[in-house]
Amino acid sequence: MDLSLLSALNAERAARHAAVLVTHLGSNAQRLVKAADTARDPLARELDAALAAGKSGVVGEGADRVFLTVHVPPARMVVVGAVHISQALAPMARGAGFDVTIIDPRTAFATPERFPQTTVIAQWPDTALPALGLDPFTALVALTHDPKIDEPALEAALAAGCFYVGALGSRRTHAKRIERLAARGLSPALLERIHAPIGLDIGAANPPEIAVAILAQVIGALRKPAPAREAAA
């Protein structure tokens, strides 16, 4: 592989852009295809499938065998609310391989002492989220219970196509939240993407257990394609 190709790949990865390195196993010829450019590639269908699954692999037969090295950004979790559940969730999510960022404008909550080894941003989501750059490889978890803080973040996450969007609150709380967001022009199909009440239903009874329920649901959204999830539900 040419160093220039490797450097181009590393630049895509640093920018959290998905890309595929295509290696022809017969000739050893290689090319880099950015996720945004797959339509123009002869292997468009295979590339799109590999990117959607996030899995590398060999495609084609005989002399046409190529290896697709799929690079998708490491999954990130943005937690809105520096609350008790977040204190349990942050280390668990980090252990599962997520880059975790906590956002809460309430400076009494958003302190490094409460969240060792975690990036904590004491700002409103409106200010903090544009700089973070939400994307389809990010999960957004809204836990403050405060519509002023949670809802702008939910709106941004849905707009960015985050692979998981979840919000704490009872069915009643969520119904009111849906009403408010719909009044702001969000479509029913988009609002259905919000997981609420948040987390798998395992009867979680305290913050660490709720954190487990949330993390399991986020991992499910990351690892299982949507149809498989619906079939399992």
Partner 1 sequence: MLAREDDVLEAAARWRAEGKGVALATVLETWGSAPRPVGSHLVIDDAGRFLGSVSGGCVEGAVVTEALDVIGSGTPRTLEFGVADETAWRVGLSCGGAIRVYVERID
Give the separation between CA 136 and CA 61, rounded to whole angstroms: 32
Would you say 56 or 127 has its CB closer to partner 1?
56
Q: Which one of 37, 44, 45, 57 is in contact with partner 1 (CB under 8 A)?
A: 57
* Dist CA 218 CA 164 (whole Å): 6
Nearest distance in Å: CB 82, partner 1: 21
The greatest distance separating any two alpha carbons of the chain, rounded to the nearest whole angstrom, comes to 63
- Is residue 53 a contact point for partner 1 (CB under 8 A)? no
137 Cβ partners below 8 Å, 6+ apart? 16, 18, 72, 73, 74, 75, 76, 163
Check binding of 13 to partner 1 (CB under 8 A).
yes
Q: Is 227 in the site for partner 1 (CB under 8 A)?
A: no
Placement of tokens 């969240």 in the chain: 115
| Per-residue b or e along 22-45, where b marks 16 or more CB atoms closer than 10 Å to that residue's CB | bbeeeeeebebbebeebeebebee
Q: What is the dihedral of CA 111, 157, 160, 120, to 10 degrees?
A: 10
* 25 belongs to the binding site for partner 1 (CB under 8 A): yes
Using CB under 8 A, pick the residue from 31, 45, 55, 229 that binds partner 1.
Answer: 55
Burial of 213 (0-12, 13-18, 19+ CB in 10 A): buried
| Shorter beta-carbon distance to partner 1: residue 71 or 114 | 71
The residues in 176-215 that bind partner 1, with binding defined as CB under 8 A, are: none
| Per-residue binding letters, 92-121, with partner 1 (x by CB under 8 A) | --x--x------------------------
Applying CB under 8 A, the span of 39-47, 64-72, 118-126, 171-179 interacting with partner 1 comes to: 64-72
By the rule CB under 8 A, 9 interacts with partner 1: yes
User: What is the contact surface with partner 1 in residues (CB under 8 A)?
Assistant: 1-3, 6-7, 9-10, 13, 23, 25, 28, 55-58, 67, 69-70, 74, 94, 97
